[in-house]
Structure 1
Amino acid sequence: MNSEFLEALKDLEKEKGIAVDVLLEAIEAALLSAYKRNFGSLQNARVHIDRNTGDFKVYSQRTVVEEVEDDRLEISLEDARKIDPRFNLGDVVENEVTPRNFGRIAAQTAKQVVVQRIREAERNIIFEEFANREGDILTGIVQRIENKNVFIELGKTEAILTPSEQMPGEEYRPGDRLKTYIVEVRKTTKGPQILVSRTHPGLLKRLLEMEVPELYEGVIELKSIAREAGYRSKIAVYSKDENVDPVGACVGPKGMRVQNIVSELNGEKIDIVKWDQDPSKFVASSLSPAKVVAVEVWEDEKVARVIVPDYQLSLAIGKEGQNARLAAKLTGWKIDIKSESQMAEIYPEYNQYEENPEDGDLESYLSGTDELEYSPDDDLAKNDDK
């Protein structure tokens, strides 16, 4: 090694961002390991590379003791003071022991260390780049599929879409362009491992922000998302500006904005509803497209009973209970759905508000002090599986 080698390391520092001192320390450690392996595995030694010339030297190290038990590791105080009278017990005496044919081994070792450090630096750069993008959306090209895992090319690295993060019914082929959501970036010995998802609610959120400028700018606020990937999603949005319709802004002219997202998610249905501070209104809108007659809430238990027309019951519950389930996730409330005829069977007094509107409307009755005798736990369990 010489000054040209040092210049090469300085160039690497500029290009790869690896400090010269870090490389030299790594080379010294590798040279020491090579020396012990080939020449003196039982003795203490130190390798030093001159930072100005690039010359390297190997020094043996022996501790100054009163009685020598192993002359490869220890030296007597008397012999140490023959070398330098300033030595005392416990000091370390160094002697140069650089082997004559060590240059070839040193050059090979230095090359291996530099190559390894360059790889590590490149991996760290990639890790830092993607670690800062966790929770973001990225576009890549499907490279290959192994054991149902989809590997997506991202330039210098690749992301993994595991089976659990793939959308039901979606097929992936090499060469397909795919938008995914970065769930996690892990640091491994083989480099960064980037785990992505097509089912995460965050993917829907990011797609909305890309399509709806008002969301990105903060004019509209996305309050909550409930998603069953590949089938249906519900989104609650809100705007502090009374002049801005949050639902209309997300839907877009002729439905173009939301349609672009639906196309990206391969036909997944998306319901966009207006968030309201009043839980009864929010719960009612969350069951869209079903029409709601009235909502009764128990705020302490976060339970809501919703009454719908008979012909709207199946729509409110949804196929296999999907609409009701998503509404519950969206609002954070347990929702019990009843049709008007069911209410009449359970509570006969309900009929007087159907037959005699002059007695008052149903919603006023439910929100008043003269409530129907009902506990929210009575029949919520009936709808838990819906």
Structure 2
Amino acid sequence: MSKTNFEFLDALGQIAREKGISVDTLLDALANALVAAYKRRPGAAEEAVVTIDPESGEIRVYGQELDENGEVVREWDDTPADFGRIAAQTAKQVILQRIREAERDLKYEEYAGREGDIVTGIVQQTDNRYTLLDLGKVEALLPQAEQVPFERYEHGARLKAYIVEVRKTTKGPQIVVSRSHPGLVKRLFELEVPEISAGVVEIKAMAREPGHRTKVAVWSNDPNVDPVGACVGARGSRVRMIINELRGERIDVVPFSTDPATFIQAALQPARVREVRLDEEQGVATVVVGDYQLSLAIGKEGQNVRLANRLTGWRIDIKSESQVAAEEAGEGEDWAEGEWVQTESGDMVWQPADGSAALSAAEWDAAASSVSDEAESAVPADAPERDSSEAPAEVPGQAAGSEGGSA
């Protein structure tokens, strides 16, 4: 083996060890590149093969003649006199290309199959279409569709995001992340609540309106562990960390129950429910609340009942005690019969059964007040007036009335 060939093989071996590429892979790639370089020379054979001796590093080019079946009928040594110089130039290009490909493959393998994980990145670039996050070795793409409405990402800010897709491209892995996916909230709970990561507490259901509010139903596999208290933490410390990461998004943690009526009652917190009537065939739950709790149960623009619908899987129809009493007495107005439906804009409106114009929550509340005097006997004499005590718990994220939650 000549000194040049020895240095060539030694360099290949060192590159292979540093970059995690086998020597055989490099030699095969180099041989294919040398065939292409040979065919560009004047007078080159139409078919040729290049061999590289892995022991000596000697490079030979053999021209070939093939028959109609593609079988080699004649072969001769057609190694050009100056092929060593061409081989050196080609080897450099091939090795650099293979190194880039290997590095791209390693980066892809690092993130392949990690859909559903949470990553922390630094905001590098943002525009109307997407935001780029620097994850260290690679960049992640946060498209507009996966962003939280009205959330702004400042350059250099640290941000947690949820991996929704890992694509393999010619330029390396493209990692698509989300800030609006419900999985982000779940992963944040797993990071902040040891009982969840240990499997003692489970998240059974979740409903989210990104940037506004999320309802989380939790269950404990240990009767000695309060699931709501574990998720909220002492003085709300755990859930507050999640709220801060979500930039103020409100979180209601409620206890999960296998009993639909109990679960629906918990899902409508912070409102207090008087009665739940289930129609299992239709999948409809009629919920009766005090007159003073109606607006709280429906929520701003119907948000509370809308999230409760999605959390429980039941279509929830909320009625006040006055309305129920009027219906039972046959004294209700035409609008008293109907159901709460969700509009295209996401608002909850009362659709009267007679097909007349739908009523917003405020209009329905006003109409209900007009018959409340006639059904006064249906309202407990000691029913408290609506005041700040009916507002959500003082600690953000803990629904009022949650069992076991820490204040």
Q: What TM-score range do you get, normalising by the shorter chain?
A: 0.7 to 0.9
Q: Taking structure 1 as reference, are residues 32 and 383 closer, same or farther at Cα in structure 2, changes over 3 Å only?
A: closer
- 1:28 corresponds to: 31
Instruction: State the one-letter code of the partner of 2:117.
Output: D
Q: Which residue of 1 aligns with 2:327?
A: 346
- Give the Cα–Cα distance (whole angstroms) in 2 for the partners of residues 383 and 339 of structure 1: 19
Q: For the structure 1 residues 59 and 380, does the alpha-carbon distance in structure 2 shift closer, same or farther, using more than 3 Å as the test?
A: farther
| Cα distance, 1:147 vs structure 2 | 4.2
1:40 and 1:191 mapped to 2: Cα distance? 39
- Residue 132 (structure 2) pairs with residue 151 (structure 1): yes
What's the counterpart of residue 101 of structure 2? 120
Structure 2 match to 1:243: 224
Classify the secondary structure of the residue corresponding to 1:174: coil
CA distance in 2, matches of 1:55, 1:146: 54
Alignment CA distance shift 1:383-1:94 (3 Å): closer
**Distance of aligned partners of 1:42 and 1:333 in 2 relative to their CA distance in 1, 3 Å threshold:** farther
Name 2:185's counterpart in structure 1.
204
List runs of 5+ in structure 1 lacking aligned partners: 66-72, 75-89, 352-377
Measured after TM superposition, the shift of residue 39 of structure 1 is: 3.5
Number of positions where the alignment pairs a residue of Structure 1 with one of Structure 2: 338
Give me the whole-angstrom Cα distance separating, in 2, the residues matched to 1:339 and 1:275: 25
Code of the aligned partner of 1:99: P
Amino acid at match of 1:182: I
CA offsets 1:160-215 (integer angstroms, 9 cap, x no match): 11111112222112111111111111100111001111111111111111111111
Q: 2:46 is matched with which residue: 40, 43, 48?
A: 43
Q: Once the 2 structures are TM-superposed, how far is the Cα of residue 61 of structure 1 from its aligned partner?
A: 0.8
* Paired residue secondary structure (1:342): helix
C-alpha separation in 2, matches of 1:340 and 1:349:
14
Q: TM-score, normalization: structure 2? A: 0.78
Q: Report 1:251-262 matches (<5 A).
A: 251-262=232-243
SS in 1 for 2:270: coil
Structure 2 gap segments, 5+ residues each:
349-407
- 2:356 aligned residue: none
More relative contact order, 1 or 2 (CA 8 Å, 6+ apart): 2
- For the structure 1 residues 380 and 92, does the alpha-carbon distance in structure 2 shift closer, same or farther, using more than 3 Å as the test? farther
Deviates more, 1:118-127 or 1:12-21: 12-21
2:201 corresponds to which letter in structure 1?
Answer: I
The structure-2 alpha-carbon separation of the partners of 1:339 and 1:104, relative to structure 1 and needing over 3 Å to count, comes to same
Local SS of the residue matching 1:133 = coil
TM-score w.r.t. length of structure 1: 0.83
Q: Look up the match of 1:356.
A: none
Change (3 A) 1:46 1:383: closer
For the 8 Å contact 1:45–1:60, the answer to whether it is kept is yes
What is the letter of the counterpart of residue 84 of structure 2? G
Answer whether contact 1:291 1:308 (CA < 8 A) is retained: yes
Match of 1:355 in 2: none
> What residue identity is the alignment partner of 1:11?
Q
Question: SS at 1:347's partner residue?
Answer: helix
Large movers: runs of 4+ above 3 Å:
39-42, 378-385
Could you tell me which of 41, 58, 61 is aligned with 2:61? 58
Residue 179 in 1 paired to residue 185 in 2?
no
Q: How far apart are 1:383 and its partner, in Å?
A: 5.1
